[in-house]
Amino acid sequence: MKERILSAINDIEKEHHVKILYACESGSRAWGSPSKDSDYDVRFIYVHKKEHYLSIDPVGVGKKRDVIELPIDDLLDMSGWELTKALKLFRKSNPPLLEWLHSPIVYYTAFSTVERMKELENDVFAPHSCMYHYLNMARKNYREYLQRDQVKLKKYFYALRPVLATKWIEQFNEFPPLEFPTLLEKMLPESQIKNEVETLLQRKMAGDELDKEPPNLLINEFLSTEIAQLEAYAKTMNSALSDPTEKLDELFREALDEVWEIKSSSRFFL
Protein backbone atom coordinates (compact mmCIF):
# COMPACT_ATOMS: atom_id res chain seq x y z
CA MET A 1 0.00 0.00 0.00
CA LYS A 2 2.85 2.41 0.72
CA GLU A 3 4.07 2.01 -2.86
CA ARG A 4 0.59 2.85 -4.13
CA ILE A 5 0.47 5.96 -1.91
CA LEU A 6 3.90 7.12 -3.09
CA SER A 7 2.85 6.56 -6.69
CA ALA A 8 -0.28 8.65 -6.10
CA ILE A 9 1.86 11.43 -4.61
CA ASN A 10 4.02 11.47 -7.71
CA ASP A 11 0.94 11.57 -9.95
CA ILE A 12 -0.58 14.46 -7.96
CA GLU A 13 2.60 16.51 -8.24
CA LYS A 14 2.71 16.05 -12.00
CA GLU A 15 -0.97 16.62 -12.65
CA HIS A 16 -1.39 19.67 -10.39
CA HIS A 17 2.12 21.16 -10.74
CA VAL A 18 2.67 21.18 -6.98
CA LYS A 19 5.11 19.74 -4.48
CA ILE A 20 3.81 17.60 -1.65
CA LEU A 21 5.54 18.35 1.63
CA TYR A 22 4.04 15.70 3.89
CA ALA A 23 1.67 12.75 3.77
CA CYS A 24 0.39 10.76 6.74
CA GLU A 25 -2.32 8.41 7.97
CA SER A 26 -5.22 10.12 9.71
CA GLY A 27 -7.82 7.43 10.40
CA SER A 28 -8.19 4.39 12.61
CA ARG A 29 -4.76 3.11 11.60
CA ALA A 30 -3.19 6.26 13.06
CA TRP A 31 -5.37 5.84 16.14
CA GLY A 32 -3.90 2.40 16.74
CA SER A 33 -7.30 0.72 16.50
CA PRO A 34 -7.87 -0.50 12.94
CA SER A 35 -10.19 -3.36 12.16
CA LYS A 36 -9.31 -5.98 9.58
CA ASP A 37 -11.39 -4.07 7.00
CA SER A 38 -10.13 -0.55 7.74
CA ASP A 39 -9.22 1.55 4.72
CA TYR A 40 -6.31 3.98 4.46
CA ASP A 41 -7.09 7.64 5.22
CA VAL A 42 -4.13 9.56 3.79
CA ARG A 43 -3.85 13.32 4.27
CA PHE A 44 -1.19 15.59 2.79
CA ILE A 45 0.06 19.19 2.62
CA TYR A 46 1.21 20.65 -0.68
CA VAL A 47 2.56 23.91 -2.09
CA HIS A 48 2.15 25.62 -5.47
CA LYS A 49 4.81 27.44 -7.45
CA LYS A 50 5.51 31.05 -6.48
CA GLU A 51 3.62 32.56 -9.42
CA HIS A 52 0.44 30.81 -8.28
CA TYR A 53 0.46 33.00 -5.17
CA LEU A 54 1.52 36.23 -6.93
CA SER A 55 -1.87 37.08 -8.42
CA ILE A 56 -4.83 39.30 -7.65
CA ASP A 57 -6.98 36.30 -6.66
CA PRO A 58 -5.71 34.54 -3.55
CA VAL A 59 -5.58 30.77 -3.26
CA GLY A 60 -8.92 29.43 -2.07
CA VAL A 61 -10.97 31.97 -4.06
CA GLY A 62 -12.85 31.11 -7.24
CA LYS A 63 -11.18 28.43 -9.33
CA LYS A 64 -7.99 28.52 -7.26
CA ARG A 65 -8.92 25.68 -4.95
CA ASP A 66 -6.97 25.04 -1.77
CA VAL A 67 -7.68 21.31 -1.57
CA ILE A 68 -6.84 18.30 -3.72
CA GLU A 69 -9.03 15.22 -3.39
CA LEU A 70 -8.59 11.89 -5.12
CA PRO A 71 -11.60 9.71 -5.92
CA ILE A 72 -12.29 7.46 -2.93
CA ASP A 73 -12.21 3.72 -3.44
CA ASP A 74 -12.79 0.84 -1.04
CA LEU A 75 -9.21 0.90 0.25
CA LEU A 76 -7.80 4.42 -0.12
CA ASP A 77 -9.16 7.84 0.83
CA MET A 78 -6.59 10.52 -0.06
CA SER A 79 -6.91 14.31 0.17
CA GLY A 80 -4.71 17.29 0.95
CA TRP A 81 -4.60 20.95 1.91
CA GLU A 82 -2.60 23.69 0.22
CA LEU A 83 0.11 25.21 2.43
CA THR A 84 -1.45 28.63 3.11
CA LYS A 85 -4.73 26.94 4.03
CA ALA A 86 -2.81 24.60 6.36
CA LEU A 87 -0.91 27.49 7.97
CA LYS A 88 -4.11 29.50 8.54
CA LEU A 89 -5.64 26.50 10.26
CA PHE A 90 -2.40 25.92 12.17
CA ARG A 91 -2.64 29.52 13.44
CA LYS A 92 -6.08 28.63 14.82
CA SER A 93 -4.78 25.49 16.53
CA ASN A 94 -6.97 23.39 14.27
CA PRO A 95 -7.16 19.89 15.83
CA PRO A 96 -7.50 17.89 12.59
CA LEU A 97 -4.33 19.54 11.23
CA LEU A 98 -2.51 19.00 14.53
CA GLU A 99 -3.54 15.35 14.34
CA TRP A 100 -1.86 15.14 10.94
CA LEU A 101 1.33 16.57 12.39
CA HIS A 102 1.19 14.10 15.29
CA SER A 103 0.37 11.05 13.18
CA PRO A 104 2.53 8.05 14.09
CA ILE A 105 2.30 6.83 10.48
CA VAL A 106 4.10 9.12 8.03
CA TYR A 107 4.21 7.89 4.44
CA TYR A 108 6.23 10.69 2.93
CA THR A 109 7.99 13.92 3.85
CA ALA A 110 10.03 16.42 1.87
CA PHE A 111 11.84 19.65 2.70
CA SER A 112 11.84 21.26 6.15
CA THR A 113 8.45 22.99 6.25
CA VAL A 114 6.53 20.48 8.35
CA GLU A 115 9.38 20.06 10.84
CA ARG A 116 9.43 23.83 11.27
CA MET A 117 5.67 23.80 11.81
CA LYS A 118 6.16 21.26 14.56
CA GLU A 119 8.77 23.51 16.17
CA LEU A 120 6.19 26.33 16.25
CA GLU A 121 3.42 24.23 17.79
CA ASN A 122 3.84 25.79 21.24
CA ASP A 123 3.21 29.20 19.66
CA VAL A 124 -0.12 28.16 18.17
CA PHE A 125 -1.49 25.46 20.48
CA ALA A 126 -4.70 26.68 22.14
CA PRO A 127 -5.80 24.20 24.83
CA HIS A 128 -9.27 25.74 25.19
CA SER A 129 -9.94 25.62 21.45
CA CYS A 130 -8.85 22.00 21.15
CA MET A 131 -10.85 21.01 24.22
CA TYR A 132 -14.02 22.52 22.77
CA HIS A 133 -13.39 20.77 19.46
CA TYR A 134 -13.12 17.37 21.09
CA LEU A 135 -15.96 18.04 23.52
CA ASN A 136 -18.29 19.05 20.69
CA MET A 137 -17.31 15.90 18.83
CA ALA A 138 -17.88 13.72 21.88
CA ARG A 139 -21.23 15.30 22.72
CA LYS A 140 -22.52 15.08 19.14
CA ASN A 141 -21.46 11.48 18.67
CA TYR A 142 -22.76 10.42 22.08
CA ARG A 143 -26.19 11.86 21.37
CA GLU A 144 -26.37 10.75 17.74
CA TYR A 145 -24.98 7.22 17.97
CA LEU A 146 -25.08 5.91 21.53
CA GLN A 147 -28.51 6.83 22.80
CA ARG A 148 -30.37 4.26 20.74
CA ASP A 149 -31.89 0.84 21.31
CA GLN A 150 -29.15 -0.74 19.16
CA VAL A 151 -25.61 0.63 18.88
CA LYS A 152 -22.80 -0.20 16.45
CA LEU A 153 -19.73 -1.21 18.40
CA LYS A 154 -17.37 1.16 16.56
CA LYS A 155 -19.50 4.19 17.45
CA TYR A 156 -18.37 4.02 21.07
CA PHE A 157 -14.91 5.08 19.95
CA TYR A 158 -16.31 8.14 18.19
CA ALA A 159 -17.16 9.44 21.66
CA LEU A 160 -14.54 7.73 23.82
CA ARG A 161 -11.53 8.96 21.88
CA PRO A 162 -12.44 12.69 22.00
CA VAL A 163 -13.33 12.41 25.70
CA LEU A 164 -9.96 10.86 26.51
CA ALA A 165 -8.20 13.42 24.29
CA THR A 166 -9.90 16.21 26.24
CA LYS A 167 -8.87 14.65 29.54
CA TRP A 168 -5.27 14.55 28.24
CA ILE A 169 -5.35 18.28 27.48
CA GLU A 170 -6.83 18.97 30.91
CA GLN A 171 -4.09 17.01 32.66
CA PHE A 172 -1.01 17.80 30.55
CA ASN A 173 -1.91 21.06 28.79
CA GLU A 174 -0.55 19.67 25.51
CA PHE A 175 -1.95 18.19 22.34
CA PRO A 176 -2.95 14.56 22.93
CA PRO A 177 -1.46 11.54 21.18
CA LEU A 178 -3.53 10.00 18.42
CA GLU A 179 -3.22 6.40 19.53
CA PHE A 180 -6.33 5.27 21.37
CA PRO A 181 -4.49 2.56 23.37
CA THR A 182 -2.13 5.23 24.73
CA LEU A 183 -5.02 7.48 25.73
CA LEU A 184 -6.79 4.56 27.36
CA GLU A 185 -3.71 3.48 29.30
CA LYS A 186 -2.85 6.96 30.57
CA MET A 187 -6.27 8.49 31.12
CA LEU A 188 -8.24 5.67 32.73
CA PRO A 189 -7.20 3.96 35.96
CA GLU A 190 -7.73 0.23 36.36
CA SER A 191 -11.48 -0.17 36.77
CA GLN A 192 -14.54 -1.89 35.42
CA ILE A 193 -15.04 0.87 32.86
CA LYS A 194 -11.48 0.42 31.58
CA ASN A 195 -12.03 -3.34 31.31
CA GLU A 196 -15.23 -2.73 29.35
CA VAL A 197 -13.48 -0.38 26.92
CA GLU A 198 -10.54 -2.76 26.47
CA THR A 199 -12.97 -5.55 25.61
CA LEU A 200 -14.72 -3.34 23.05
CA LEU A 201 -11.36 -2.40 21.53
CA GLN A 202 -10.36 -6.03 21.15
CA ARG A 203 -13.67 -6.83 19.49
CA LYS A 204 -13.39 -3.85 17.14
CA MET A 205 -9.91 -4.83 16.00
CA ALA A 206 -11.07 -8.41 15.53
CA GLY A 207 -13.67 -7.23 13.04
CA ASP A 208 -16.82 -6.85 15.14
CA GLU A 209 -17.02 -3.08 14.72
CA LEU A 210 -20.26 -3.12 12.72
CA ASP A 211 -22.08 -5.42 15.12
CA LYS A 212 -25.19 -3.90 16.70
CA GLU A 213 -26.21 -4.53 20.29
CA PRO A 214 -28.00 -2.80 23.18
CA PRO A 215 -26.09 0.20 24.55
CA ASN A 216 -23.45 -0.38 27.21
CA LEU A 217 -24.98 1.54 30.12
CA LEU A 218 -21.72 1.67 32.07
CA ILE A 219 -19.84 3.31 29.20
CA ASN A 220 -22.73 5.65 28.47
CA GLU A 221 -22.83 6.80 32.08
CA PHE A 222 -19.06 7.35 32.02
CA LEU A 223 -19.29 9.43 28.85
CA SER A 224 -22.20 11.52 30.11
CA THR A 225 -20.43 12.30 33.39
CA GLU A 226 -17.06 13.06 31.82
CA ILE A 227 -18.49 15.33 29.14
CA ALA A 228 -20.33 17.40 31.75
CA GLN A 229 -17.26 17.69 33.99
CA LEU A 230 -14.93 18.57 31.13
CA GLU A 231 -17.33 21.19 29.78
CA ALA A 232 -17.37 22.84 33.19
CA TYR A 233 -13.56 22.83 33.29
CA ALA A 234 -13.25 24.25 29.76
CA LYS A 235 -15.28 27.30 30.76
CA THR A 236 -12.61 28.23 33.31
CA MET A 237 -9.70 28.21 30.84
CA ASN A 238 -7.81 31.28 29.69
CA SER A 239 -8.07 31.68 25.92
CA ALA A 240 -5.47 34.44 25.47
CA LEU A 241 -2.71 33.69 22.93
CA SER A 242 -0.05 35.71 21.14
CA ASP A 243 -0.40 36.17 17.39
CA PRO A 244 1.99 33.85 15.47
CA THR A 245 1.15 35.29 12.02
CA GLU A 246 4.53 36.94 11.47
CA LYS A 247 6.37 33.68 12.13
CA LEU A 248 4.02 31.74 9.86
CA ASP A 249 4.39 34.31 7.06
CA GLU A 250 8.14 33.89 7.29
CA LEU A 251 7.81 30.11 7.27
CA PHE A 252 5.65 30.28 4.14
CA ARG A 253 8.06 32.52 2.23
CA GLU A 254 11.02 30.37 3.16
CA ALA A 255 9.11 27.24 2.14
CA LEU A 256 8.61 28.67 -1.34
CA ASP A 257 12.32 29.44 -1.63
CA GLU A 258 13.33 26.02 -0.35
CA VAL A 259 10.90 23.97 -2.43
CA TRP A 260 11.29 25.73 -5.78
CA GLU A 261 14.89 26.92 -5.70
CA ILE A 262 16.85 23.84 -4.61
CA LYS A 263 17.50 20.54 -6.31
CA SER A 264 15.00 17.72 -5.95
CA SER A 265 17.72 15.60 -4.33
CA SER A 266 16.84 17.28 -1.03
CA ARG A 267 13.62 15.28 -0.94
CA PHE A 268 13.47 12.03 0.92
CA PHE A 269 11.12 9.17 1.64
CA LEU A 270 10.36 7.44 4.93
| CATH code, 73 | 3.30.460
pLDDT range class, residue 264, cuts 50, 70, 90: very low
Above 60 in pLDDT, residue 111?
Answer: yes
- Burial group, residue 198, by CB count within 10 angstroms (0-12, 13-18, 19+): middle
Above 70 in pLDDT, residue 267?
Answer: no
pLDDT at 265: 44
One domain, residues 88 and 119:
yes
* Across 43-69, average pLDDT: 94
One domain, residues 90 and 217:
no
pLDDT range class, residue 210, cuts 50, 70, 90: confident
Above 90 in pLDDT, residue 269?
Answer: no
One domain, residues 202 and 180:
yes
Select from 4, 197, 193, 32 the least CA-distant residue to 107: 4
Residue 20's CB: how many other CB atoms inside 10 A? Answer: 23
One domain, residues 116 and 224:
no
One domain, residues 250 and 222:
no
- 209 or 139, greater pLDDT: 139
pLDDT at 166: 98
Q: What percent of the chain has pLDDT over 70?
A: 97
pLDDT range class, residue 268, cuts 50, 70, 90: low
Residue 137's CB: how many other CB atoms inside 10 A? Answer: 18
One domain, residues 120 and 245:
yes
Above 50 in pLDDT, residue 51?
Answer: yes
pLDDT range class, residue 266, cuts 50, 70, 90: very low
pLDDT at 53: 96
Segment among 22-31, 56-65, 174-183 with least mean pLDDT = 56-65
One domain, residues 138 and 219:
yes
Alpha helices in 34-126 (DSSP H): 50-53, 83-91, 95-101, 113-119, 121-124
**Number of domains composing the chain:** 2
pLDDT range class, residue 195, cuts 50, 70, 90: very high
One domain, residues 252 and 119:
yes
- CA 238 to CA 240: how far, in whole Å? 6
Q: Which domain holds residue 81?
A: 2-124+241-269
One domain, residues 110 and 144:
no
One domain, residues 77 and 17:
yes
One domain, residues 46 and 173:
no
pLDDT range class, residue 209, cuts 50, 70, 90: confident
Give pTM, 2 decimals. Answer: 0.92
Q: What percent of the chain has pLDDT over 90?
A: 87
One domain, residues 248 and 119:
yes
